[in-house]
Amino acid sequence: MTPSVREVLQGCTLAIVTPPSADAGPEYAASRFGMVAMMLGLAATEAEHAAQAAAAENADMRAVFAGLAPAYDAALGGRLSAAAAETEASLDVPVLDEANARLRRLLIELHARIEDAGDAAANRAIVSLYGRMAQLRQMALPSG
Partner 1 sequence: MSGLADAIAAYLSRAWGEPVAVERLSRISGGASRETYKLDAVTSTGTRPLILRRDPPGSLIETDRRAEFLALKSFHGRVAAPEPLILEEQGAELERPFFVMRRIEGGAASSPFARDAYAPHEAKLAEAFFGTLGRIAAADPATLPIAELGALPSPGDCWRRELDYWAGVIDADELHPQPIVRAAIRWLRRNPPPPAQKLSVVHGDYRSGNFLHDGAGRIIAVLDWEMAHVGDPLEDLGWAMDPLWRHHDPDRVAGLTSKADAIAIWERASGLKVDPAAFRWWELFASVKGQAIWISSAKEYRDGGYREPILCFSGWYTARRQDEIIAERLAELAA
- Considering the rule CB under 8 A, would residue 138 count as an interface residue with partner 1? yes
- Count of beta carbons in the 10 Å neighbourhood of residue 46: 19
Distance CA 128, CA 130 (A): 5
Number of residues that bind partner 1 (CB under 8 A): 53
Q: For helices 5-17 and 26-68, what crossing angle results, to 10°? A: 170
The least distance separating partner 1 from the CB of residue 52, rounded to whole angstroms, comes to 15
Distance CA 5, CA 2 (A): 8
- Considering the rule CB under 8 A, would residue 44 count as an interface residue with partner 1? no
The least distance separating partner 1 from the CB of residue 119, rounded to whole angstroms, comes to 11
Cα–Cα distances (Å) from 47 to 7, 74, 95, in that order, read: 12, 40, 15
Cβ closest to partner 1, residue 74 vs residue 94 = 94
Site string for partner 1, 85-104 (x = CB under 8 A): ------------x--xx--x
- Considering the rule CB under 8 A, would residue 118 count as an interface residue with partner 1? no
The least distance separating partner 1 from the CB of residue 97, rounded to whole angstroms, comes to 7
